């Protein structure tokens, strides 16, 4: 299991990838469809990472082992309604 720093670094890398995709689209290096498809994947991965980080912080706050946090499925993370 990754620690908080590893998760935060992964999040930073994904954000950099988002920016790079938008830049490549603006330069005409990739199509809008390519950008959209990859952005969707990046956004889902970002949501899953943020969810894991929140789980770890909550477990720590309530005196539980943060290592018990688990990466949840796309369906679970993307299915939040509020």
For the segment 33-51, the average pLDDT, to the nearest whole number, is 96
Q: What pLDDT, in 10s, does the model give residues 52-67?
A: 999 999 999 999 999 9
Is the dihedral angle over the CA atoms 78, 26, 31, 12 positive or is it negative?
Answer: negative
Question: Token match 């369906």: residue?
Answer: 75
24 contact partners, CB below 8 Å, separation of at least 6: 30, 35
pLDDT at 49: 97
pTM of the predicted model as reported, rounded to 2 decimal places: 0.87
Element (H, E) at 68: none
pLDDT band at 82 (very low <50, low <70, confident <90, very high): low
Tell me the three state secondary structure of residue 33. Answer: helix
């Amino acid at each position: 299991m990754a620690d908080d720093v590893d998760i935060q670094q992964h999040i930073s890398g994904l954000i950099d990838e988002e920016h790079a995709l938008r830049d490549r689209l603006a330069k005409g290096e990739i199509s809008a469809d390519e950008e959209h498809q990859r952005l969707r994947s990046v956004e889902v991965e970002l949501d899953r990472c943020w969810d894991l980080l929140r789980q770890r912080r909550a477990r720590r706050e309530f005196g539980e082992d943060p290592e018990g946090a688990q990466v949840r499925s796309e369906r679970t993370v993307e299915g939040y309604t509020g």
